[in-house]
Amino acid sequence: MTKDRQSTVSVIKKYDVRARKKYGQNFLKDENILQGIVDAAEIGKEDTVLEIGPGTGALTAFLCEAAGRVIAVEIDRDLIPILEETLGTRENVTLINADIMKTDIREILPEGCGSIKVVANLPYYITTPIIMTLLEGNAPIDSMTIMIQKEVAERMLSLPGKKTYGALSLAVQYHTEAKAVMEVPPSSFIPPPKVSSTVMHLKVRKEPPVNVMDEELLFELIRASFNQRRKTLQNGLKNHPGLHFSTGEISAAIEKLGKPASVRGEQLSLEEFASLADLLYQRP
């Protein structure tokens, strides 16, 4: 450890930091994993990093040493004075007290910074909404290296036909190239969570892996298909308020796709969802 980098344990003791449940706080203390996250993010001095939820600043310190600039967004205002003290000697970090879900990332980036790399230890209770906001928010994101609940990581990487396969699997596949980097046990955190975690690296695609005529329609179909998993694809699409196709149009599109009327959404690949979207978009 460098002399100006403070451990999570020492900061928590010094400032009597208490993890707040409403923010889903679990502070990472294992320095090998902290370094592993930075390595997985492939950060260099030319990079601008957006860190979501710096907490006590343990990961932030590692990021500052690797990156050209770090923008750290922390929702808990009580942690800001602590972060200002623990990171005060570092000139390449900007601290922002804000809710990332209510923040336009483009507005907080320095002018001319180009694409950014997101690094985050995400709170479990809001992991999926944050990921989807980042993927769909049109911010210039090159990659995301995120600590998430192991179960969510499994859903991200899941394939058609599995119980873990769903809308998140398809969105991540559409927008990124995803891989699991490492599994992290509960003992690596203060306080320890009740579940294991996984570090994921998501490289944002420059172009999606499928061509589709109407991207908005594609994801409306995906949401409808998994909104009630036990229903057939046809019934799921027919009853979804965001779609306005007749039963006959849906049935005809599924038939043209080469699938039986009993098929469920969880059995379709991303390519098949794209084809279905095009068939419905071009309906007579």
- Segment 78-115, tens digit of pLDDT: 999 999 999 988 999 999 999 999 999 999 998 888 89
Categorize the per-residue pLDDT at 263 as very low, low, confident or very high, splitting at 50, 70 and 90.
very high
Average pLDDT score, the chain = 94
Query: Do 38 and 73 touch, CB atoms closer than 8 A?
Result: no
What pLDDT is recorded for position 110? 87
Residue 29 and residue 86 in one domain:
yes
Residue 40 and residue 96 in one domain:
yes
Report the alpha-carbon distance of residue 125 to residue 168 in Å, rounded: 15
Phi, psi of 159 (to 5 degrees): -115, 160
Query: Do 227 and 221 touch, CB atoms closer than 8 A?
Result: no
Categorize the per-residue pLDDT at 3 as very low, low, confident or very high, splitting at 50, 70 and 90.
very low
Query: Do 38 and 18 touch, CB atoms closer than 8 A?
Result: no
Residue 183 and residue 92 in one domain:
yes
Asked whether residue 126 is assigned to any structural domain, the reply reads yes
Asked whether residue 271 is assigned to any structural domain, the reply reads yes
Residue 181 and residue 254 in one domain:
no
112-140 pLDDT, tens digit each: 888 999 999 999 889 999 999 999 988 99
Residue 48 and residue 174 in one domain:
yes
What pLDDT is recorded for position 4? 65
| Residue 187 token pair | 């003992």
Phi, psi of 192 (to 5 degrees): -70, 130
pTM: 0.93
- Listed residues 204, 231, 246: the one ending a domain: 204
Give 138 or 164, the one with higher predicted confidence. Answer: 164
Domain that holds residue 229: 215-281
What pLDDT is recorded for position 138? 86
Residue 181 and residue 44 in one domain:
yes
Q: Tokens 């003992």 label which residue?
A: 187
Query: Do 149 and 209 touch, CB atoms closer than 8 A?
Result: no
Element of type H or E holding 59: helix 58-66
Asked whether residue 209 is assigned to any structural domain, the reply reads no
